[in-house]
Amino acid sequence: MNIKLLTKAIKYEVFGVLIMALFIAQPIAAKTVKVTMTAKETNVVIDNKGTEYPAWTYDGKIPGPVVRVTEGDTVDFKLINPDTNKNSHSMDFHAAVVDVLKEFSEVKPGENKHFSFVAKHPGVFFYHCGATTMAQHIARGMYGIIIVDPKEGYSAAYPKPDREYVLIQSQYFPNAKDKNAMIENRGWTGSLINGKIFHYDPVHDENASLTLQSKPGERVRIFFVNANINNPVAFHPIAGIWDRVYINGNPQNTLYGIQTRNVAVASADTFDLVSPADHPTNNAIVDHSMSAAMRGAITVLMNMPDADPKLGKGDNILIR
């Protein structure tokens, strides 16, 4: 063979292999996810009987909207602080690696803030307002969850769940103005689960009308955030065992067969629960610290054949 032709052939071969390697290594195309939130200082209902509380919120609700992206995505975020508000507010995404003095700085009433970051780590993360006094901004309701799904998707290490639920726990301080009580952990009278005391517990609150639901044998995945000001959460599924706990929601940090997992303040973990497949059961998912459980941190999960097919799916993972 002509030596020139041979060299050319080898070049094409190498080129072809390179192209193929590039193709194989290509991750799921990262996307840009636009998220806009408006700080709203407004009354919200904090229990099942309709008690109102002068809250500070993202978009008028406690907790704020669920943000969900895939590992590698860019979150393009805008915070609007209308001039009708009295206070500065901010956004601190725990999923972001940025500059606390720049991206997370306070936004005065009448001003907006825009920043972006790449969600580089998969898992579940807290977000909250960091404006002064931070304890008060969180206690009054400015927090939520950002879920960063792993770019590999589901696998044996991270099985596809049948249902997903978000639970965010926080401490309720009835005196919304007493910042020192919040900092010093005095005077809190309730545990809010997704913004309400005994939100999903008709056993302890006759006014409660909601529960979590699944069918017997389903894998239920719970994304849990501890938005308390000072107290860790002893997260336990009464009458069950966590099949898996993904620390910080990352499948690379998996624990198996766990009874109670201590979740630090401002942290989040992902929990899988699989109920017996052959008969209906119920779980009470609690903060086993009794001072929190008896103030509202109990959630009933009913595992029954006629479970509502819409609950725990799509946009129905944070039930309001």
From the list 67, 131, 292, 318, which residue makes contact with Cu ion (rule: CB under 5 A)?
131
Which residue stretch of 137-145, 218-226, 268-276, 279-287 sits at the interface with Cu ion (rule: CB under 5 A)? Answer: 137-145
Which 110-129 residues touch Cu ion, going by CB under 5 A?
129
Interaction pattern, residues 68-97, with Cu ion; x per rule: CB under 5 A: ---------------------x--------
Query: Which CB sits closer to Cu ion, 84 or 209?
Result: 84
Shortest Å, Cβ 133 to Cu ion: 10
Is 142 a binding residue for Cu ion by CB under 5 A? The answer is: yes
User: Which range, of 8-16, 76-84, 100-108, 142-150, touches Cu ion by CB under 5 A?
Assistant: 142-150
CA gap 229, 183 in Å, rounded: 7
Least distance to Cu ion from the beta carbon of 15, Å?
55
Nearer to Cu ion, 131 or 208 (CB): 131
229 near Cu ion, rule: CB under 5 A: no
Question: By CB under 5 A, which span of 22-30, 65-73, 97-105, 130-138 interacts with Cu ion?
Answer: 130-138
| β-pair partners for 42 | 55
Q: Cα(93)–Cα(144) distance, rounded to whole angstroms? A: 9
Least CB distance to Cu ion at residue 109 (A): 11
The answer to whether 139 and 266 are in contact (CB under 8 A) is no
Q: In angstroms, rounded to a whole number, what is the distance separating the alpha carbons of residues 290 and 263?
A: 15
Given the complex with Cu ion, which of 32 and 43 has the nearer CB atom? 43
Per DSSP bridges, beta strands 163-172 and 190-193 are antiparallel
Q: Which residues of 205-230 are buried (b: 16+ CB within 10 A; e: fewer)?
A: beebebbbbbbbebbbbbbbbbbbbe
Q: Which residue has the tokens 């939520």?
A: 144
Smallest distance, Cu ion to C-beta of residue 62, A: 12
d(CA 169, CA 121): 23
Whether 71 and 107 have beta carbons less than 8 Å apart is answered as no
Interface with Cu ion, residue 137, by CB under 5 A: yes
| Residue given tokens 């936004």 in the structure block | 107
Q: Which stretch binds Cu ion (CB under 5 A): 17-25, 119-127, 131-139, 150-158?
A: 131-139
Nearer to Cu ion, 85 or 250 (CB): 85
| Total residues found in the chain within this entry | 320
Contact, 285 vs 301, CB < 8 A? yes
Q: Applying CB under 5 A, which residues contact Cu ion? A: 89, 129, 131, 137, 142
